Chain A
Amino acid sequence: MSSTPASPLHLAVALDGTGWHPASWREPAARPRDLFTAGYWADLVAEAERGLIDFVTIEDGLGPQSSQVLDPDERTDQVRGRLDAVLVASRVAPLTRHIGLVPTVVSTHTEPFHISKAIATLDYVSTGRAGLRVQISARPDEAAHFGRRTVHRIEPPAGPAAQDALAELLDEAADHVEVVRRLWDSWEDDAEIRDTATGRFIDRDKLHYIDFEGRHFSVKGPSITPRPPQGQPLVTALAHGSAGYRLIARQADVGYVTPRDADQARAIVAEIRAEQRTAGRATEPLHLFGDLLVLLDDSGAEAAARRERLDALAGEPYTGDAPVFTGTASQLADLLEELAGGGLTGFRLRPAVAGHDLPRVTRDLVPELQRRGRFRNAYEAGTLRGLLGLARPANRYAAA
């Protein structure tokens, strides 16, 4: 038996409305009427911070939620409507001190210049705890909200044309992130000099045009916002297949993947590591987290019964892109340790019901992992990169 202690795991919590189960809003702990208030989000993030969670992600989208993957619906029995995730994160930032804040941004319809300065500013507002989760939009109805481009319908099951369309959007997302990252570096850290002798506020040699010219857009720079506290805030992405894995390998600091067991995890990790080498990033740290939807209770039977109740309220069994775990905190800890054996360094847990399963994560799962020596006992770093063991990167434009 190996005497090397297993390394601690990282934990993120994915926040989405009242939770990831479509019937979550019906649960007593759900607070559906508070969804559009700052207090609701502040309470959830404070709970996650009490549990020493590395970071929360906040879902977003440029159209109403839907039970269809590619089309809007007209359902009235589920939560519809959401607030801008970057602004929710920023609203919560001054109320928290340690936890990372990672809102979703949609690359397909947004300006990288705006996104770059928004996340840089979130990093200033949170003093070094910002990140983003980049997401594409393949929905024709969302494209119609902007009227700038036509997004062709990607017909499942995934044929070659659909794969091409998806790869195109993901390729654009990689360019989007490239611009966002270059803009973060477009000011060197010591560009602001306030030299009263010469009257110069900045050393203009330490600001850089990024001169990005890609297939989809060109951006000149520099940013209007100086380099953020972390230098490069965290970039994260979720992927379920090779095109998405490539985006993670090229641009992300944390990738979310959805393996069902340790073997599958091992295969996905190997694929992404190979892509990482192809992208010339082999030496850069890249965390790969497993995504799981969780229903946690005192017994497996209780959790299973809750899942059944939620499914009955929803009118159909829940199936999503990520595996669903139903059971106790101890059983979940077993599963996480097993999956970690496949090369995952952490997990992003999606509470089925935010008001119920998030406190179960922070009050049951976290102490269980701490007992096993697999989770921190206190926040040990001042920035999100620090929590994840990522160094503050050198500026790509700074003279060596």
Chain B
Amino acid sequence: MSKPLKQIHLAAHFPGVNNTTVWSDPAAGSHIEFSSFAHFARTAERAKFDFLFLAEGLRLREQGGTLYDLDVVGRPDTFTVLAALAAVTDRLGLTGTINSTFNEPYEVARQFASLDHLSAGRSAWNVVTSWDAFTGENFRRGGFLPQQERYSRAEEFLATAHELFDSWRGDEILADQATGTFLRDARAGAFVHRGQHFDIHGRFNVPRSPQGRPVIFQAGDSDEGREFAASSADAIFSRYATLKEGQAFYADVKGRLDRYGRRPDQLLILPAATFVLGDSDQEAAELAREVRRQQVSGATAIKHLEFVWNRDLSAYDPEGPLPDVDPVVSEDHISRGRAQVRMYRDPIAIAREWRQLAEANQWSIRDLVINTGNRQTFVGSPATVARTLNDFVQADASDGFILVPHITPGGLDAFADTVVPLLQEQGVFRGDYAGTTLRDHLGLAHPDADTDTGTGSGPAVASERAAS
């Protein structure tokens, strides 16, 4: 007996501000102009994708005390772009990464509720929190939050936002011109929240939106983060896009749902995934190598080595051997505004391991960075990529993918034109949208205002993540 085929969910991540994005390619366009966002969104909608995804960062990155200048720098405001995209698309979901540390619940809740109205029910919120006072220097309160409290604030932030969304049930507006009753309920939107981080009360001023609440994304990976996702999130933006790791993560998180009375299909697991397509598998493999070299220039290789060495390596030749000096182990890091440097918990050991790898393979600094960095998730002909991607989903390594093209804005076009039709032929991806809201696309129920307001305990949210 075979189980029925799962339907794949696909999303499009607008290329971000790290070296995944190849800005030096002649085909690379603006990362700021609205025409790029419109092109990208229209491609995603033409291909019947579930949603578009925008990352966010609130302080430009620095390395060695100056602005980091080798990657794409700068991006527009998340909410403002999404609202404008609602005008040039009809069905595509609109997911924004919004920080819970440097915002207030009342304002963010009304922005998401407004976006949901203005898009007729297509908004989603990837909730993240910042990790340092460095970002805080751009905001009124500065770095006001002790590191250990950022998760509890994020969690209370989200719970408070839910209370605001739910402060309107949805039937308050009568607007009866004859009798003169606009509101059925004089206290519509009334709320009181008294907690550790927020002590607020009054009346929320955006009526209930088409989806009730935006779809909630979570991107954390800690045990507490997984627990929170299991209790309250609608989808996880995960980092495990290899088969084995993906299956382990999927089984772990889905296995936690039962405790909260939730079914496996009420929490979607959507890893970020990169791809390179070619006419043949061999051509794609060659192209993928070329893209990796574009992504890691000599200058970029040195800067990436500095993430681990935590010292100025500008005197080293990227085509030469690895430094023989050891990393500087310190709380002060040469790179600021970047989450990934925290992954290197034992830099001395990593440096030792990398030196051995480089020696064994006769790798230069640049070769090492290219070979130890992330490879593209899917490389091959359209048929190969369609098959691999579907195998991942059917093997319960994920429920779909958030695709991250490396070229702006046309990097999704070939995928839309060649891979999607194959998935549609196989009956594993929609031929057209069946519903109008993002919750419809994701198979999620619309929440009622008076039930289902629970949030979990434990860290809600990942570090601000500029996505792979």
Contacts and interface: CB of A to CB of B under 8 A. Distances in A.
Interface string A205-235: 0010000000011111110111000000000
Q: Which of B23, B118, B119 has the largest count of A CB atoms less than 10 A from its CB? A: B118
Interface in B82-121: 83-84, 86-88, 102-104, 106-107, 110-111, 113-115, 117-120
Contact of A198 (B185, B202, B299): B299
A30 B34 contact: no
B71 A201 contact: yes
Contact of B117 (A62, A78, A83, A148): A83
Given A83-B114, A109-B107, A121-B76, A94 B34 contact: yes
B70 interface: yes
Nearest to A183: B138
A207 to B, nearest CB: 6
A74 B203 CA distance: 10
Contacts of A37: 117, 120
A78 B199 CA distance: 29
Contacts of B189: 64, 80-81
A46 interface: no
B384 to A, nearest CB: 31
Contacts of A187: 74
A32 B83 contact: no
A117 B81 CA distance: 11
Given A25-B175, A114-B103, A76 B185 contact: yes
Size range of the chain B interface in the assembly: 35 or more
A90 B80 contact: yes
Nearest to B184: A76
Contacts of B71: 201
A397 to B, nearest CB: 14
A270 B305 CA distance: 63
A251 B250 CA distance: 54
A168 interface: no
A324 interface: no
A15 interface: no
Interface string A156-193: 00000000000000000000000000000001000010
Contact of B111 (A87, A92, A192): A87
Contacts of A76: 181-186
Nearest to A130: B80
A124 B76 contact: yes
B453 interface: no
A110 interface: yes
A87 B81 CA distance: 9
Interface in B251-304: 297-300
Contact of A221 (B69, B138, B202, B297): B138
Contact of A38 (B120, B142, B182): B120
A113 B58 contact: yes
Contacts of B198: 147
A336 interface: no
A127 interface: yes
A147 B111 CA distance: 18
A216 B118 CA distance: 34
A225 B205 contact: no
Interface stretch (A48-56, A137-145, A238-246, A259-267): A137-145
Contact of B87 (A81, A83, A94, A111): A94
A121 B77 contact: yes
B104 A125 contact: no
A397 B317 CA distance: 35
A120 interface: yes
B205 A224 contact: no
A188 B394 CA distance: 50
Q: Which of B57, B203, B206, B207 has the largest count of A CB atoms less than 10 A from its CB? A: B203
A88 interface: yes
Nearest to A93: B84
Contacts of A144: 200-202
Interface string A101-122: 0000000011111100110111
Given A93-B87, A124-B76, A199-B70, A83 B206 contact: yes
B80 A111 contact: no
A72 interface: yes
A83 B38 CA distance: 23
A26 B32 contact: no
Nearest to B58: A224
A313 B71 CA distance: 60
Contact of A80 (B24, B77, B104, B188): B188
B202 A145 contact: yes
Interface in B208-226: none
Nearest to A203: B69
B346 interface: no
B111 A124 contact: no
A148 B119 CA distance: 31
B38 to A, nearest CB: 7
Contacts of A79: 182
B78 to A, nearest CB: 9
Nearest to A314: B180
A194 B23 contact: yes
Contacts of A92: 87
Contact of B182 (A80, A122, A192): A80
Q: Which of B71, B139, B199 has the largest count of A CB atoms less than 10 A from its CB? A: B139
A225 B74 contact: yes
Interface string B159-192: 0000000001000010101001111111111000
B448 interface: no
Contacts of B426: none
A40 to B, nearest CB: 10
A282 to B, nearest CB: 32
A200 B103 contact: no
A26 B180 contact: yes
Given A113-B138, A192-B73, 20 more contacts: A26-B177, A64-B205, A75-B183, A80-B205, A87-B83, A88-B83, A91-B118, A113-B58, A121-B76, A122-B80, A141-B202, A145-B106, A147-B199, A199-B297, A199-B300, A202-B69, A204-B67, A207-B73, A220-B138, A225-B75
14 contacts: A32-B175, A35-B175, A36-B207, A63-B205, A77-B181, A83-B114, A84-B111, A84-B206, A93-B84, A95-B87, A147-B200, A207-B60, A218-B142, A219-B140
- The 7 residue pairs across chains A and B that have the minimum distance between CB atoms: A121-B80, A220-B137, A84-B114, A90-B83, A74-B186, A121-B76, A121-B77
